[in-house]
Amino acid sequence: MEDIKMTATKAPYAKLKPALDAAFSAVMASMDFENGPQVTRFARSLENYLQVPLALPSAHAAAALKAALRLLQLPRGAEVIVPAFGDAALVAVLQESDYLPVLADVDAQTFTLTSATVEKVITPTTAAILVTHLFGQCAPLQELVALAQQHKLWLIEDATQALGARYKMAGGEGGYAGIHGHLGITSFFPTKPLLDAGEGAAVLVNDAGLVARLQEQQEGGRAYPEEHISLGALEAAMMEVKLTFVEEYNAARQTIAKYYDQAFAAVAEIQTPAHTHYAEHIYQQYTIAVAPELRDGLRRHLEANYIPSAVYYPAPQGLSLSRRDFPTAARLSESILCLPLHSELKEEQLAYICQHVINYVKQNSAF
């Protein structure tokens, strides 16, 4: 059996190589590596795919989030609500931008913010809600949009792990993750859905007033918020090619996830990703949750049998995930384990992974 990898990019690259070579050659011929036509063309392609009014390509996710925050012109010290379970980089960017991150607990099934968990921490100085669509699973946007409107708050979607995930609003209206709030951000980091070779990202602008202001700036020769770091032309050329395959990438991960779901269905001690009526899960990661006392031992067992895995997420630096204030986030930080997930996994490898997970959990669970 071939070595099992956590992620893999060789097969997708081989398939795209002719188109990528042509795109790179065009950039090299122009020698225009910054804010060239490839960057503009990719922005338009992303707008057309997501059906969002305006996309601003960025060098990396942190730059995209900083640009999004600057667009909102929030007062210094303003509170921004973020999930207690998620990437600590969000908290770091908010602190660097002179905003106060306020943690809210998450749902035990979807691992995302809900209107109930957010409303508990809203104060008179709350300015925005930053909701993460985690591991490819959409947060319940319908209720979060309504909550933001009720309290006159900005809503920013962190869709860095959910490019191409579809959300269905009440009445049948819907669209992709990242386009329902006032602003969104997405990422093309190698571990994200689009599998960039670098750290590209984009700001997604949905609010009409923000769109009008940015278009006015563009007409005046100021294309981006001040200090914004734009995506390079080579990466933009790569992303324009890869964007045409994002649905195929997502479908491949969904197929692998379905295999895992079926294999673990009969094991009550293993919690698999939730399926919701309002959204399509694209499985940026395939996560299982087991009893906290089993998680680290299971990871060591998998490693001993040459099966990689990953742990997400510890508490943000400097902040505590107390079981009293954030019971769900605290439990998830001790129980979540991510399994290999990519299109190159073979059925023999999947069966081997599932066998070792199931055997360990059954043999070590308390009766």
CB atoms within 10 A of CB 260: 23
pLDDT at 345: 94
With a cut of 70, list the residues of the chain below it in pLDDT. 9-14, 23-24, 27, 29-35, 189-199, 218-229, 315-321, 366-367
* pTM for this model (two decimals): 0.92
Quote the tokens at residue 44: 């338009």
Same domain, yes or no, for 166 and 131? yes
Alpha-carbon distance of 84 to 281, in angstroms, equals 21
Final residue of a structural domain among 174, 206, 241: 241
Is residue 284 assigned to a domain?
yes
DSSP per residue over 274-300, as a string? Answer: P--SSB----SSEEEE--HHHHHHHHH
Q: Which residues of 33-44 are buried (b: 16+ CB within 10 A; e: fewer)?
A: eebbebbeebbe
Is residue 3 assigned to a domain?
no
Final residue of a structural domain among 241, 258, 285: 241
Final residue of a structural domain among 206, 241, 276: 241
Is residue 217 assigned to a domain?
yes
Same domain, yes or no, for 268 and 165? no
Number of domains comprising the chain: 2
Same domain, yes or no, for 138 and 75? yes
Q: Which is catalytic among the residues 15, 192, 258, 362?
A: 192
Is residue 133 assigned to a domain?
yes
Could you confirm whether 192 is annotated as catalytic? yes
Residue with tokens 């602008």: 205
Same domain, yes or no, for 235 and 295? no
> Are 260 and 283 a contacting pair, CB within 8 Å?
no
Same domain, yes or no, for 268 and 207? no
Same domain, yes or no, for 276 and 227? no
Alpha-carbon distance of 250 to 253, in angstroms, equals 5
> Are 229 and 55 a contacting pair, CB within 8 Å?
no
Structure confidence by residue, pLDDT tens digits, 253-311:
999 999 999 999 999 999 999 999 999 999 999 999 999 999 999 999 999 999 999 99
The domain of 318 spans: 246-364
